Structure 1
Amino acid sequence: MAERPVLSYRRFEPGPSGDGRVTVLLHGFCSDGDADWVRPGTAAALAAAGHTVIVPDLRGHGASPAPAAPAEAHADALARDVLAVLDQAGAREFDIVGYSLGARLAWEVVRQAAGRAGRVVLGGLSPAEPFTAVDPAALHRAVRTGEQPADPFTGMIAGMVAATGERAAGLAMVVEGLRETPFDPATWAGRTPPVLIAGRDDMMVRGIERIVESTAGAQLVMVPGGHIEALTGADFREAVVKVLQR
């Protein structure tokens, strides 16, 4: 069997302070590592604080390969992609920060590698799997032909992926794969409880208190903004650095 392609990623070396512990940053859906972590300054802030920062593009996103089938975009497969990058980077142990889809996948990465994962920050995490409401056939048809789905939510997702141009077909496959492996936050596998960060005006995180209450030791930090504004704001960046410096 051919080896799974390793994701495209960027590495930021640590500044003089800190111990160079590896921190991996996972971006959201229809985005990439540059948009979510590099341009807002989070990767640079963590590197300056002494972290070795790994910023991959998830499968189907940025410069990484698209999935050839939905199974390659199942949540467990996407998590294995991330672990393959960490293996390639020589990270036996790591801290992990994810936002939105990246937070959902960080939960799965920790499940698969609980003994390796240290501190965990989950930003913009939806307590439910939004892609279960998508009609995958209508989504793929919209990407191929431009036909507008009858279902408004599927139509919204189709509009998001279509805006990415040549990445659209791969992103539709990612949606289908995640729909087949929906998020279930019933059990936290990590050695340390996660810190969840949410925007005060973010409708995507409604009900996040349920995860905090059911995950022993979990903390919730609220920052200004909606789903996008929270991620790119200074309060979010400062909260991430503070958590990882404990």
Structure 2
Amino acid sequence: MIASFDGTSLAVHRMGKGRPVLMLHGLFSNAEINWIKFGHAQKLVDAGFEVIMPDLRAHGASDAPHDAAAYPADVLALDAAAVVEALGLADYDLVGFSLGSRTSVRAVILGQTPRKLVLSGMGLEGLAGWNRRSAFFIDAIDRFDEVKRGDPAFMAVSFMKTMKVDRVAARLLLESIADTDQTELAAITMPTMVLCGDKDNDNGSATRLAEALPNAHYAEIPGTHMSSVTEGALGDSLVQFLKD
């Protein structure tokens, strides 16, 4: 466990030895589901990397406070910075999926300087139009016990049930996250891969995101937003990009 900037405990999972790769998972998920279960972390370890995978605040084995004061603006980016500082990461790569990608963007805008950056499961509208996306999940939490099959929120609620999400903490976290103005993306100058499933439009256009970044390219793998993280192609793409 690592104490973040405000004392909140963050669970940090580590595998392998070598060049550090900090990996940030998606909303309602955790390091085990996004990075370990389907072999992505092991592929990076086998390629000579050390993989560092925190559970985000209000997720996994990390603390999930119920006090609104524990969720200031950019709290997840501040947590990521706290992990970097606590582990003394001076030269590392940064990988995110979905909310983890959004967090990675915010972390760089606030001053983090990874050698390379991977934004997976993320499109331009997932950054510039996050408030709309956040509202969808807050509504799913508020209607949690009413949502039935066929409801647009059904998959989100089902995943929250599977992951045993602390809905009070998750709602507070969602309320703390604001849009990222497209002009802020000029700060992301390191080589960046925007990696997305060929049927994943949940966070808008990944190709438009790649075009909006100063030094980025788009790469495609099979899958929807939910299924792309189960594809071996995700881990393969990470290794190929980060090994170059």
Q: TM-score range by the shorter chain?
A: 0.7 to 0.9
Change in 2 beyond 3 A, CA 1:121/1:71: farther
Structure 2 gap segments, 5+ residues each = none
Deviation at 1:71, TM superposition (A): 5.2
Question: Contact 2:189/2:214 (CA < 8 Å) preserved in 1?
Answer: no
Deviation at 1:163, TM superposition (A): 4.8
Aligned-residue sequence identity (percent) comes to 28
Equivalent in the alignment of 2:16 = 13
Q: How does 1:2-81 map to 2 (within 5 A)?
A: 3-14=6-17, 20-70=18-68, 72-74=70-72, 76-81=74-79
Deviation at 1:169, TM superposition (A): 1.9
Deviation at 1:222, TM superposition (A): 0.9
Deviation at 1:109, TM superposition (A): 1.2
CA distance in 1, matches of 2:173, 2:52: 22
Structure 1 gap segments, 5+ residues each = 15-19
Structure 2 counterpart SS, 1:219: strand
Change in 2 beyond 3 A, CA 1:241/1:153: same
Equivalent in the alignment of 1:95 = 93
Query: Does residue 184 of structure 2 align to residue 187 of structure 1?
Result: yes
CA distance in 1, matches of 2:155, 2:175: 15
Report the TM-score when normalising by structure 2: 0.83
Structure 2 counterpart SS, 1:92: coil
Question: Contact 2:199/2:222 (CA < 8 Å) preserved in 1?
Answer: yes
* Corresponding residue to 2:121 among 119, 124, 142: 124
Question: Contact 1:122/1:195 (CA < 8 Å) preserved in 2?
Answer: yes
Question: Contact 2:58/2:169 (CA < 8 Å) preserved in 1?
Answer: yes
Report the TM-score when normalising by structure 1: 0.82
Which one-letter code corresponds to 2:133 in the other structure? F
Deviation at 1:58, TM superposition (A): 0.2
Give the paired residue count: 232
**What does the per-residue CA deviation read over 1:95-127, in whole Å, with 9 as the maximum and x for residues that have no partner?**
10000111111111111234x311000000032
Structure 2 counterpart SS, 1:103: helix
CA distance in 1, matches of 2:93, 2:194: 14
Equivalent in the alignment of 2:176 = 177
